[in-house]
């Protein structure tokens, strides 16, 4: 590890936690294709308690789950068991009953119609199917309320049977699409998604400290999610966890993990699909997953909020053109932090952020447990951390 990187990154983590209104605790790591270049942990797992944040602290990683589900889908593509152009209802018939929302009548009841074409597997990978999340869309929230569709954090199959905000292929809209992909994996493999992950991804990558249901050891090391009020005050929410065990293994949001385990997944992409115990993906498949998959002229962008307690409105790297790969955001121009064009990144609702830069052979992960998303302290800390990695590597 370069000494200057150690000093710079340590300073950023320390400032992020100990500044006024700072994050309760942060774990951050950076890696090259061989091993971690930097590992740091600062702060507490829960404000008001003595347990320090450590490198093996377990966090709900929320949407950082999506790329792992995308990997499981691409393994099926490699085997010829599915095709990205296939209609998704071929594998999950229930998705064929999802309607497009046209509006609401005077009594608040939704007006819907059938989509103009089938949702494909590729639509789900690229977030062009039309699905959203209830906390990113007032219309999705209103539909769920009117039709008694449960929240996605219930980790239930019913929670993803909501509505399309537009016809498939019309535009990029971020939502529950990857949870449907998880159901496709289960249908093709005949097993729960967590079992598939264990056998085909976590095993070859020696990822042990990760799963939809926490082991006793993981639970003992769990960082508590904190709520940041409008005045900046942080309150620990020790009872706030995803259902354990979940009714459904949610391919879009359901994993718990320590950050070091996810670094092994990032390194697999830096090593053309190979892990310490064998190949997870073919090199050609990794290249495919890293390319822009959106039609010409379509971009991925920011998001609105319909639930400010869960997420702020915002956008990553505003002003920089961004598309979508399988299943990551891809920056088509260099970022201010130093990430080159063609790199990948995404995030998790609890203010977790990661990037993968195959051009330079580096990646990183910034983990915290704070709501709402795009926290005013944790997200700038991530940007500073990434910039420090590029400046001092």
**For residues 143 and 108, what is the distance between their CA atoms, to the nearest angstrom?**
9
**For residues 246 and 253, what is the distance between their CA atoms, to the nearest angstrom?**
11
Choosing from 133, 174, 256, 379, the catalytic residue is 174
Closest by CA to 130, choosing from 88, 175, 93, is 175
Write out the E strands in the chain.
25-31, 36-43, 58-60, 100-104, 110-113, 210-211, 226-228, 234-236, 256-258, 274-275, 278-279, 322-324, 329-331, 343-348, 352-357, 362-367, 370-371
The answer to whether 191 is a known catalytic residue is no
List the structure tokens of 382: 């991530």
Asked if 281 contacts 76 with a C-beta cutoff of 8 angstroms, the reply is: no
Tokens 């993990």 label which residue?
A: 257
**For residues 373 and 350, what is the distance between their CA atoms, to the nearest angstrom?**
6
Choosing from 38, 63, 256, 378, the catalytic residue is 63
The answer to whether 49 is a known catalytic residue is no
Choosing from 38, 44, 66, 133, the catalytic residue is 66
Asked if 154 contacts 42 with a C-beta cutoff of 8 angstroms, the reply is: no
Instruction: Map residue 71 onto helix, strand or coil.
Output: helix
The answer to whether 66 is a known catalytic residue is yes
Just list the catalytic residues.
63, 66, 174
């Amino acid at each position: 590890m370069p000494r200057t990187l150690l000093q710079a990154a340590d300073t950023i983590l320390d400032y992020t936690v100990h500044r006024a209104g700072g994050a309760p605790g942060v774990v951050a790591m950076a890696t090259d294709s061989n091993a971690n270049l930097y590992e740091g942990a600062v702060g507490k797992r829960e404000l008001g308690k003595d347990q320090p944040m450590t490198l093996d602290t377990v966090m709900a990683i929320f949407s950082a789950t999506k790329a792992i589900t995308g990997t499981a889908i691409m393994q099926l593509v490699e085997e010829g068991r599915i095709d990205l152009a296939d209609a998704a209802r071929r594998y999950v018939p229930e998705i064929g009953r999802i309607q497009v929302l046209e509006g609401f009548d005077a009594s608040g009841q939704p007006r819907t119609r059938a989509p103009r074409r089938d949702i494909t597997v590729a639509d789900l990978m690229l977030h062009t199917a039309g699905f959203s999340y209830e906390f990113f869309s007032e219309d999705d929230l209103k539909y769920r309320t009117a039709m008694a569709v449960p929240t996605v954090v219930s980790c239930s199959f019913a929670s993803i049977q909501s509505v399309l905000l537009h016809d498939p292929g019309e535009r990029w809209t971020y939502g529950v699409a990857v949870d449907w992909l998880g159901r496709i994996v289960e249908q093709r493999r005949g097993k729960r998604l967590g079992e598939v992950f264990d056998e085909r991804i976590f095993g070859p990558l020696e990822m042990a400290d990760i799963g939809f249901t926490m082991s006793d050891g993981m639970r003992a090391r769990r960082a508590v999610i904190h709520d940041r009020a409008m005045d900046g005050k942080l309150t620990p929410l020790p009872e706030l966890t995803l259902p354990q065990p979940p009714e459904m293994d949610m391919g879009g949001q359901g994993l718990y993990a320590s950050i070091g385990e996810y670094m092994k997944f990032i390194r697999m992409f830096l090593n053309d699909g190979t892990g310490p115990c064998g190949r997870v993906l073919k090199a050609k498949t990794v290249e495919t997953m890293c390319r822009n998959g959106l039609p010409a002229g379509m971009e991925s962008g920011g998001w609105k909020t319909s639930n400010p307690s869960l997420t702020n409105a915002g956008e990553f790297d505003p002003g920089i053109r961004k598309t979508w790969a399988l299943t990551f955001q891809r920056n088509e121009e260099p970022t201010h932090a130093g990430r080159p064009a063609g790199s990948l990144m995404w995030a998790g609702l609890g203010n977790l952020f990661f990037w993968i830069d195959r051009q330079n052979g580096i990646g990183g992960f910034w983990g915290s447990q704070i709501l709402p998303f795009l926290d005013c302290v944790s997200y700038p800390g991530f940007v500073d951390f990434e910039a420090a990695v590029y400046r001092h590597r």
